[in-house]
């Protein structure tokens, strides 16, 4: 995995500043992520990956790169296949695993069917069949 920073000269603002974007490259696929920071193009050193005269911004960029690389380590330690999507999911949403049971998925689906009944896209009979199936599933899962 490679993490670098680039400036996007094509996105110049009226004050002459351009955004700094982070590029993440995993297994030949690349994504650009906004850092939310802007600088004058002449202040950026692509070779050193730093901004001239702005220690605080350089520390921010260094910490951002370290965070992305630590996410890769976390995923590898968990045995997760590292892709850009898995890295960005952890970056955006955190490391907490979000799990949902089959019955919860079924309940969400039944609720969506219920809304369609109100809109007259689906009949009441179809909804009642889903509710009966839900009962069978619950009993089956409890016996397992």
pLDDT in tens, 89-130: 888 888 765 556 778 888 889 999 999 999 989 899 999 999
Domain ranges of the chain: 2-93, 102-143
Q: What is the pLDDT of residue 80?
A: 81
**What length is written for the chain?**
144
Place of tokens 């995995």: 1
- Phi, psi of 129, deg, nearest 5: -65, -40
Q: Region 73-97: what's the mean pLDDT? A: 84
pLDDT above 70 covers a percentage of the chain that reads 94
pTM: 0.62
Residues near 16 by beta carbon (within 8 Å), at least 6 away in sequence: 40, 41
Q: What is the pLDDT of residue 100?
A: 65
- The candidate with the shortest Cα–Cα distance to 70, out of 56, 48, 87, is 87
pLDDT in tens, 13-35: 999 999 999 999 998 899 999 99
Q: What is the pLDDT of residue 63?
A: 95
Q: What is the pLDDT of residue 19?
A: 95
Interatomic CA distance for residues 139 and 144, integer angstroms: 9
Longest CA–CA span in the chain (Å) reads 70
- Phi, psi of 69, deg, nearest 5: -65, -35
Neighbours of 24 (CB within 10 A): 22
**Three-state DSSP state, 24:** strand
Neighbours of 143 (CB within 10 A): 6
Beta strand residue intervals within 28-138, DSSP E: 29-39, 44-45, 50-51
pLDDT in tens, 120-137: 898 999 999 999 998 888
Q: Region 63-76: what's the mean pLDDT? A: 92
pLDDT above 90 covers a percentage of the chain that reads 56
């Amino acid at each position: 995995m490679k993490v670098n920073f680039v400036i996007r000269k094509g996105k110049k603002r009226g004050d002459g500043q351009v955004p700094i974007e982070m590029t993440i490259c995993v297994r030949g696929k690349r994504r650009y992520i906004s850092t939310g920071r802007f600088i004058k193009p002449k202040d950026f050193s692509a070779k050193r990956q730093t901004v001239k005269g702005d220690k605080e911004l350089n520390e921010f960029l260094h910490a951002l790169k370290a965070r992305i690389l630590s996410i890769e380590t976390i995923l590898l330690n968990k045995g997760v296949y590292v892709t850009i999507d898995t890295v960005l999911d952890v970056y955006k949403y955190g490391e907490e695993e979000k799990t949902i049971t089959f019955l919860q998925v079924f309940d969400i689906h039944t609720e969506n069917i219920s809304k369609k009944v109100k809109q007259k896209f689906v009949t009441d009979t179809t909804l009642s069949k889903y509710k009966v199936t839900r009962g069978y599933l619950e009993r089956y899962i409890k016996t397992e």
